[in-house]
A = this chain, B = another copy of it.
Amino acid sequence: MAPYDPSAHPPFAVTVDLVVLTVRRHTLCALAVRRGEPPYQGRWALPGGFVRPDEDLMEAACRELAEETGLRAQPPASTAAAGPSGPYGTDGAHLEQLATYGDPKRDPRMRVVSVAYLVLAPDLPAPRAGGDARSARWAPVTDLLRGEEGTDDEQRAPLAFDHALILADGVERARSKIEYSSLATAFCPSEFTVGELRRVYEAVWGVALDPRNFHRKVTGTPGFLVPAGGTTTRQGGRPAQLFRAGGATLLNPPMLRPEV
């Protein structure tokens, strides 16, 4: 490596961006906030912000998450390791590092490297705007990704910066990860039925699954679900048993995603 003095060059800014996913009305939705200032003023973007000088990356992600959604998110107790390994549970929500985006031209103002985090959350109350006056909304990911270049309509314009790319990566990660892990339970409230869990898979993958086989699969995998003791009739029909996510984090053999 050639000697290189970083202090001799303009600095980098480091931000975190959040892909916050939830399932609402049988649809995979992401949290979007409206930008109140240039660049991309008035456009929708992923929530996020600058990392502070003495803040760990995941700490920054937790802070932004709390500011944007009110999700309680205490920073990891004592992370000796700064690594992304090991998801971090926040109030039932799941948080993990997604990827880092550093195209020199991704922000017209300056060189910004953004570390994206993926959050899977149960259906939350309507998002509340943060401390400032920006508005926020849950939007179906298909809408957010189908932004039309050159459109002025604020609901249809593409996401700011490279956020469409980040969102697409996050959605892809969620889609593939629920296949072989118990992550889909992060989309459910703390107690849920097998049918609710199945509807999560159906919404995330955009397919229909056989309720009978799904039931056998998830209840037959030891440690995946533990009975919570009650029943509910939220969905109509025969009352269903309530479950809680079990300790098992790996699903083997995996849940098979049908060809689309």
- Give me the interface of A with B, judged by CB distance under 8 Å: 1-4, 6, 9-14, 47-57, 64, 67-68, 79, 81-85, 97, 99-104, 106, 111, 113, 115, 130-132, 134, 162, 165-166, 168-169, 172, 254
Pair A12/B13 contact, Cβ less than 8 Å: yes
The chain B residue with its CB closest to the CB of A254 is B254
On whether the beta carbons of B113 and A113 are closer than 8 Å, the reply is yes
Pick from B104, B166, B254: contact of A56, CB below 8 A.
B104
Are B101 and A99 in touch, CB under 8 angstroms?
Answer: no
Residues on B with beta carbons closer than 8 Å to the beta carbon of A162: 81-83
Alpha-carbon distance between A51 and B85 when the two chains are bound, in angstroms = 23
Contacts of A1 in B (CB 8 A): 47-49, 64, 67-68, 130-132, 134
Which label, helix, strand, loop or mixed, suits the secondary structure of the A interface? loop
Which residues of chain B come closer than 8 Å to A99, judged between CB atoms? 83-85, 97, 100
Whether A84 pairs with B101 at a CB distance below 8 angstroms is yes
Q: How many copies does the complex hold?
A: 2
A81: nearest chain-B partner, CB-CB: B165
Q: Judging by beta carbons under 8 Å apart, are B50 and A6 in contact?
A: yes
When distances are taken between beta carbons in the complex, the residues of chain B under 8 Å from A134 are: 1
Taking the closest CB of chain B, its distance from the CB of A45, in whole angstroms, is 11
Q: Cα distance A182–B67 when bound, in Å?
A: 42
Give 10 nearest A-B pairs by CB, closest first.
A11-B11, A82-B103, A57-B102, A1-B49, A84-B99, A100-B100, A6-B13, A83-B165, A12-B14, A4-B50
Instruction: Write out the residue numbers on chain B whose beta carbons fall within 8 Å of the beta carbon of A50.
Output: 4, 6
Among A48, A83, A162, A168, the one with the most B-chain Cβ atoms within 10 Å of its Cβ is: A83
